[in-house]
Structure 1
Amino acid sequence: MQSNPAVEAHAAPDWPAIVAIVLGVTAFSVAQGVTYPLVSLVLAARGVSSTMIGVNAVGFALGLAAATLMLGRLTQRFRANHLIIAGLVGCSLCLAAFAVFSSTLVWFVARFLLGFCASLIFMLSEAWLNVACPDRLRGRVSGFYGASICAGFAAGPLAIPLFGTADGFGFALTAVYLALVAFATATLMYSTRTTPEPTSTRDIFRFFRQAPMLIAMVFAFGFADIAAISAMPVYFVRTGHTEAFAAISVTVLALPTAVAQPFIGYALDRLPRHRVAVGTAAVAALSYLAIPFLDAPALILVAFAMLGAATFSLYTCALTMLGERFRGGMLVAGSAAYALIYAIGSGAGSSLTGAIMEIGGPDAGPLSVGAALAVFTAAFLLARRR
């Protein structure tokens, strides 16, 4: 369903809903930022094999997939804001299970449920954000939303050096934090006046047909984002940089990305949104392509920071354009489609980039991702002209 800019021009934002959404999604990203490294470190300290650690991590991905497929049925039976609160409470209970139990099987089930609950929060929050926000503010609110996600992912792993991996204290503290956020979110919802509409699994797949370029944008984001996080640190080590440099590069990737999103959001509200999307894709492509030709570590980190900010900006653009174009149940369907295609893109980004580096050498990694982003940029420009 198309939006009506004339009607929306003077619409008031639903600020209690926007605050609740940002609180919830930040909590989701903190929980995921804690869980990914902390679970692996604890299992490794217990002597669990790398293979079993990998199998355990699959539980989270399976939970994400299950939530996507069940989203239509759930939204038809329950209100979306109630599902978000249930997701926050579920995440808190899963983290508490990590703190209380030591069974690998229990942890697998907990990671499945954590992925399920976190996915509900993520998908419904995106849809609700677009419902609660008028189009004149959509870019700026989406930019702040994206910055909150980045900040949460960056803050989550800090629980490890602060509280260690023993005794489950990091899990327990994060569980308490999520429970408090769930209470705050429930309190704010008494003042909200909007809520996402129900959707269906059929709508999710219909969205793929109706918005192929938005789907392509999210795929490109997932592909390039995970390539930067998982493959580029390996690239740096293989090209003669230290492990400390590779670790610093991840921090350099995350912080400017969070800072840049509100500025991208402002640009989305002031400039033609497809031009902002094309510009961010072009900057990401050029940054990837430039890295193999840079020698100075400072210049490499600058290019890497630009790469991270531009890559995540693709998602901020896609989220803003989703709310600009669609209404009703298609908003929730679009958010679910985004989650699904991001999972596919990130899986392709980590596996293909690693394989390309093995076959063609380290430089083939960033060059191939840069070339893929350049092709996407050209395709997006061609599609707009048509």
Structure 2
Amino acid sequence: MQSEQAVKAHAMPDWPAIVAVVLGVTAFSVAQGVTYPLISLVLEARGVSSTMIGVNAVGFAMGLGAATLMLARLTQRFRANQLIIAGLIGCSLCLATFATFSSMFVWFLARFLLGFCASLIFMLSEAWLNVACPDRMRGRVSGIYGASICAGFAAGPLAIPLFGTDGGFGFALTAVYLALVAFATAMLMYSTRTVPEPSSTRDLFRFFRHAPMLIAMVFAFGFADIAAISAMPVYFVRTGHSEAFAAISVTVLALPTALAQPLIGYALDRLPRHSVAVGTAFVAASSYLAIPFLDTPALILCAFAMMGTASFSLYTCALTMLGENFRGGMLLAGSAAYALIYAVGSGAGSSLTGLIMEIGGPDAAPLSVGAALAVFAFAFLLGRRR
């Protein structure tokens, strides 16, 4: 049976909660967009080996995993809105730590805690968004949510050319920004009518059994997304393009993706949602498969932008369909499952694509990812018909 707050959410959106969620997830994506490149650049300037830089980055991933495993216990003891505010404050303190200390061990701990707090914000925000949003406008709100994530990731790295890598000013400024977002979120909490219900570890395993195609959708997104960010710039360089072209490709990937998500959300509210998901998967697959056969840089960048937009749209579809099909604690369990499977998919995308490129040559990378996305699209289409 649906809870009273879920019934109310289907009648009227909880706008203060939606605004708080969008603010929080944007802050999360800005923080991650800053820390990934900035920490690596700072450590590189200090003469730290690439191996130790990689080990330091593992701390963030460990924090993500720890938060996923502890989510059920935390939500049974604390309200979700309290955990989101605590996560924002925790992210702010971690960034302040980067600006204050230089010890590798301290940075590793801070990066672990940053991953833990950021993951809490991400998972709780997804569940709360679906609780606060009526189904008739779920796709559009999910599209705005996805656009905010993309915009945050794109805006985060701007702190590097603006404020440089010396003195920790980029970290400090981002810490202040997150603290302000935490304060604004706390103010919005007084007006909210909804809150995600607690989940359990049992719910997490139940979700994997009940929603295999949604899990596959998020895995495909993680695989294709990280392959585009990590492997495709290398592919462009190896196929004779300049490093500047490879760098521009990442920007071209991010901006259209952010702009397109509200349009995808509108389509999700007007068309059959499974059809939109299958369509975006086929577009992503076709774009990957077309890139090796294009010679003009403008056409390559257009295909690359279309591929990034369609790949991220898989996640917008999955988020919308999560709220459409699940209620109560299963919403939070689904958000945790999404975070976990995205980590698996992104790990597979970065490692397997690089290996395939080494074995089969540069063109094997986009062709293999495109083929994998095509298989997923056909499987999802057949699964829906059954």
TM-score scaled by structure 2? 0.98
Q: 1:189 to 1:7 in 2, by over 3 A?
A: closer
1:2 shift after superposition:
8.2
Instruction: Verify: 1:19 aligned to 2:22, yes or no.
Output: no
Q: Structure 2: give runs of 5+ residues left out of the alignment.
A: none
Percent of matched pairs sharing the same residue:
89
Deviation string for 1:196-226 (max 9, x for gaps)? 0000112111100000000000000000000
Q: Which residue of 1 aligns with 2:133?
A: 133
Aligned-pair Cα RMSD in Å:
1.4
Contact 2:9 2:133 in 1 (8 A): no
- Code of the aligned partner of 2:106: V
Matches within 5 A, 1:337-376: 337-376=337-376
1:8 shift after superposition:
7.2
Contact 1:3 1:325 in 2 (8 A): no
CA distance in 2, matches of 1:163, 1:137: 39
- Code of the aligned partner of 1:91: C
Q: Which residue of 2 aligns with 1:232?
A: 232
1:371 shift after superposition:
0.2
TM-score scaled by structure 1? 0.98
Q: Which residue of 1 aligns with 2:72?
A: 72
1:10 shift after superposition:
6.2
CA distance in 2, matches of 1:194, 1:97: 34
CA distance in 1, matches of 2:3, 2:384: 19
- Code of the aligned partner of 2:81: N
Q: Which residue of 1 aligns with 2:52?
A: 52
The alignment partner of 1:280 has SS state of: helix
The alignment partner of 1:373 has SS state of: helix
Contact 2:236 2:246 in 1 (8 A): yes
Q: Which residue of 1 aligns with 2:199?
A: 199
Contact 1:15 1:132 in 2 (8 A): yes
Instruction: Verify: 1:172 aligned to 2:168, yes or no.
Output: no
Q: Which residue of 2 aligns with 1:113?
A: 113
Which contiguous aligned blocks of 4+ residues in structure 1 show a shift greater than 4 angstroms? 1-4, 6-10
- Code of the aligned partner of 2:98: F
Contact 2:90 2:117 in 1 (8 A): yes
1:9 shift after superposition:
9.4
Q: Which residue of 2 aligns with 1:265?
A: 265
Deviation string for 1:357-385 (max 9, x for gaps)? 00000000000000000000000011011
CA distance in 1, matches of 2:105, 2:80: 31
Deviation string for 1:303-323 (max 9, x for gaps)? 000000000000000000000
The alignment partner of 1:218 has SS state of: helix
Q: Which residue of 1 aligns with 2:157?
A: 157
Contact 1:16 1:191 in 2 (8 A): yes
Matches within 5 A, 1:74-93: 74-93=74-93
CA distance in 1, matches of 2:3, 2:288: 36
CA distance in 2, matches of 1:319, 1:165: 36
The alignment partner of 1:344 has SS state of: helix
Q: Which residue of 2 aligns with 1:288?
A: 288
Q: 1:3 to 1:82 in 2, by over 3 A?
A: closer
Q: Structure 1: give runs of 5+ residues left out of the alignment.
A: none
Count of equivalent residues = 385
CA distance in 1, matches of 2:382, 2:139: 24
Contact 2:9 2:131 in 1 (8 A): no
Matches within 5 A, 1:3-18: 11-18=11-18
CA distance in 2, matches of 1:203, 1:162: 45
Deviation string for 1:140-187 (max 9, x for gaps)? 000000000000000000000000000000000000000000000000
CA distance in 2, matches of 1:218, 1:141: 18
